[in-house]
A and B are shown apart, each in its own frame.
Chain A
Amino acid sequence: MRPVYMISGGITKFAKAHPEKDFRLMVKEAYDAALQDVPDLSKDMIDGGVGSYFSDHFTRQLKAASMAHDYLGLCPKPSKRVEGGGATGGLCFQSAWEAIASGRMNCCVAYGFETMSRVNTWKGNEFIALASDTNFDFPVGGFYSGYYAMMVNRHMHEFGTTVEQMAMVSVKNHLNALYNPYAQKAKRLTVKQVRESPMVATPLTMEDICTMSDGAAVCILADETIAEQVCDRPVHITGIGSGSDAMRMADRPHGKVPLLPHEQESDYARLKYPGVHSFRGGRMAAKLAYEMAGIRNPLEELSFVELHDAYTSSEIQTYEDLGLCKYGEGGRFIEKGIPFMPGIEYGLPLPDQGRFPVNPSGGLLACGHPVGATGLMQAVFAFWQLQGTIEKHLDSPALQLRDPRRGLIHSHAGTGTYITVSILERT
């Protein structure tokens, strides 16, 4: 496999609705923003593209990626669409990586979008729930927030995780986003406000759950030759991994934890895994990505993580899948302040604040979740973070970490059915 680099990225502002732009124009905006940062990249150097969007129901246009591809002027170069629920963007990023690593392409554009504003929120929830088993799951509740709520209730039962710990994730991510002009829903919240916002599915409130969005994001990936030629500070993609689990939560086994190098079997002697409290696909994705990147202790060897926090609960569950802490310790991980940003006042006692920032951008909770764009958005934020260009792109230095060397991005679909982990490193 050849080394693969990310050489540029672009994002549109994520918003509840962009009625003045269709998906093609949103992608074009993100693409032009990405091209602006690599002026020496000419169109003839681009070999093809991969399009990413989740739902044909939201778009009401089949083969919409073909229309984005022609709008970008990339015809007749190779093109395809990647779809994998909430992990669509992460899978798209890895598909572009595969094109370069295999030698099939020297430069590939990964572009993603979603236009979720075309239906009301509850019809939108129905569309999303169609990504659960339509014989056995959808007719019973048809509501993803309900599925995640059942998962976290079991996490609370197994490990003693609290709703206040979950609310701290909401406080952190919404407040980080105050410094991110691309975010849809930035605000200062208290734990009390999160708990007192309308209950959606016990124990998840409105402020525990991300919103629906319109938006697009673009990543440009290249081989070493092009990266050196057109980009001052390319970022090396040193590890990719992905995993899966059964579509029906009810079918998940109760077995053993696949261990990371810094864990031992005795850590989990009595834990039945994954049950419905953990994401086995996330552990598999992390394990494969760490093996490729040569990471043995993620908390020590990574500088930050941008992860898929569609729910505050899934951020806590994901700390554990990624091995940032042991299974069962996710609640205490946030309570100690470890994943908060350094140098920002959150109004909470945080003894270990800023030791290992998670979702500096504000994550899905605050940035929004235009599904096909989300995983690519995370890559763009991680790329700017590693390049040291956060201030240039966000008009504020507040979210720029000092000397980040290696970051992880994590994309997640339907109660953990597809999960991707990619490792990005400064060159």
Chain B
Amino acid sequence: MKHSETTGKPVEKRQETNGPEGAPLIIQDHYEIDYRHSYAQDSPFFVGLSEGRLLGSRCTGCRYMYATPRAHCMECGAPTTWEALPPTGRVHTFTVCYYGGESFLKETPFLLVLVEFDQVNTLFLSRLKGVPLEEVHIGLPIRPQFSDTPTYKVTDVWFEPIDRS
């Protein structure tokens, strides 16, 4: 943890209350941290995105197919294998976010979608771009687009409507 130069600087002192006991002292205390985050068994998915491939997981036991990958099946516990998802999907549900967590505020408004694929048992969360906000609806056919400059985050893929992309 790194403490910034602002650490310990009083930013607010309430003087309106009676006496020292009633006046809380509030300081600004900055902290930040770098993690060494491993994608571990999910790593092939993120490598796949950097190569323009969207990979899901198929169970080697019960054949359940996951749009969002996991190395072991939630249904039967068997290991899964990597399998490419279909080239197109549809909007299962969506929302337009006008606010967000602090680091996403600059991107608002943005569209979140859960994507459904034929013959796949689960969904995939992504952003939808390249469509007027009022034209989005459940069932809209969409397909993935991949970043040319991968950051090895799940945002290296997003979706666009088929007839516009």
Contact = CB atoms under 8 A, between A and B. Distances in A.
Q: Do A and B bind each other?
A: yes
Interface of A: 19-20, 60, 120, 122-123, 125-126, 129, 135-137, 139-143, 145-147, 149-151, 153-154, 157, 198-204, 246, 248-254, 276
Given A20-B24, A136-B154, 18 more contacts: A60-B31, A122-B99, A125-B101, A141-B97, A142-B104, A143-B100, A146-B97, A146-B112, A153-B94, A199-B98, A201-B97, A201-B112, A202-B95, A202-B98, A249-B125, A250-B68, A276-B92, A276-B93
Contacts of A60: 29, 31
Interface string B14-34: 100100001010100101000
A157 B125 contact: no
B47 interface: no
Contacts of B97: 141, 143, 145-146, 149, 200-201
A259 to B, nearest CB: 21
Given A136-B125, A250-B125, A251-B122, A145 B99 contact: yes
Given A20-B24, A246-B74, A248-B68, A201 B99 contact: yes
A293 to B, nearest CB: 30
Contact of A153 (B95, B98, B102): B95
Contacts of A201: 95-99, 112
Given A120-B102, A246-B74, A251 B68 contact: yes
B62 interface: no
A147 B114 CA distance: 10
Contact of B154 (A135, A153, A254): A135
B22 A122 contact: no
Interface string B40-62: 00100000000000000000000
Contacts of B110: 141
Contacts of A129: 101
B149 interface: no
A149 B136 CA distance: 14
A145 B98 CA distance: 10
A60 B29 CA distance: 11
Contacts of B125: 136-137, 140-141, 248-250
A421 B11 CA distance: 43
Interface of B: 12, 14, 17, 22, 24, 26, 29, 31, 39, 42, 66-68, 70, 74, 92-105, 110, 112-114, 121-127, 138, 153-155
Nearest to B113: A150
A74 to B, nearest CB: 25
3 tightest CB-CB pairs across the interface, nearest first?
A126-B101, A149-B95, A142-B101
Interface of B is mostly: mixed
A146 B126 CA distance: 12
Contacts of A199: 96, 98
A139 B147 CA distance: 15
B119 to A, nearest CB: 13
Contacts of A147: 112
A19 B125 CA distance: 38
B155 A251 contact: no
A249 B101 contact: no
Contacts of A120: 102
Contacts of A276: 92-93, 114, 123
Contacts of B124: 250
Contact of A151 (B67, B68, B93, B127): B93
A122 B102 contact: yes
A150 B136 CA distance: 13
A276 B113 CA distance: 12
Contacts of A142: 100-101, 103-104
Contacts of A139: 153-155
A123 B28 CA distance: 15
A330 to B, nearest CB: 17
Contacts of B99: 122, 125, 143, 145, 200-201
Contacts of B153: 139
Nearest to A205: B98
Contacts of B92: 154, 276
Given A140-B126, A143-B101, A143-B104, A253 B121 contact: yes
A246 B123 CA distance: 12
B19 to A, nearest CB: 12
Nearest to A122: B102
Given A19-B14, A19-B24, A153-B93, A135 B42 contact: yes
A151 to B, nearest CB: 7
A140 B112 contact: yes
A254 B117 CA distance: 13
